[in-house]
Chain A
Amino acid sequence: MDEETSGVVKKFLYVNRKAPYGTIYALESLEVVLIAAAFDQDVSLAFLDDGVYQIVKGQHTKGIDVKNFSPTYRALEGYDIEKLYVEKESMEARGLTEDDFLVDVKVLSAAEMADLMETQDVVLSF
């Protein structure tokens, strides 16, 4: 890290909007988050729309011959990434509850999610 980045701590929010399989966005976004952890920034993750499926328990991907990368979300805690948010409307529209997720999350309404985004320095949406 060069001088220009050392010591600067910004609020990074990673917005996950897509289903875990079907496209590569969710997997490659998670790769960004894992790299970001090394930069000592203030990291949060938000799950919206079909993105809420990324952290649903009991994913089985053998049938589509794609790696099930959902256990990696559990490992985020070890990288000091503990601020995970789920949009209430997206969760409920899909018949999900907090108990369906494989990590601890904070459920926010769409309006609260907007407030959260407002407080961020960098919002990366995948």
Chain B
Amino acid sequence: MKFGILVNEGPYTHQASDTAYQFAKAALEKGHKIHRVFFYHDGVNNSTRLTEPPQDDRNIVQRWQKLAADHKVDLVVCVAAALRRGIKEENLAEGFRISGLGQLIESGIQADRLVTFGD
């Protein structure tokens, strides 16, 4: 099955990004396809390369980056939500790209299931 994922909450503050990642990982291991992860609302904060969690904690940003690199997952950050929160090309982590909300709608059209993670 082809999945699209929507992440609506920021890393560390909220479980949403962790659960979305675990879901994506499990789906890929089962042979499903994740064609895109779209980051919206505070979810855009998952894409900053300035994140430096303590060494004994998971690195949420790097986890997404590795997932994208290993499985060719398209990580898309909403431009309007990102600019509101100070995320720009200059502090965007590698593996993510900034684009418009149309990418979310397109994901809903193209994927068999679009799964939302948030409040």
Query: Which positions in A face B, CB cutoff 8 Å?
Result: 1-2, 4-5, 8, 10, 12, 24-25, 28, 31-32, 35-36, 38-39, 41, 121-122, 124-126
Contact = CB atoms under 8 A, between A and B. Distances in A.
A87 B8 CA distance: 24
A124 B114 CA distance: 8
Contacts, number: 54
B41 A25 contact: yes
Q: How large is the interface on B (under 10, 10 to 19, 20 to 34, 35 or more residues)?
A: 10 to 19
Contacts of B108: 10, 12, 41, 121-122, 124
Contacts of A125: 116, 118
A35 B8 CA distance: 17
A4 B104 CA distance: 14
Contacts of A31: 80, 101
Contacts of B64: none
Nearest to B112: A121
B106 A5 contact: yes
A5 B104 CA distance: 12
B109 A8 contact: yes
A35 B81 CA distance: 13
A95 B81 CA distance: 34
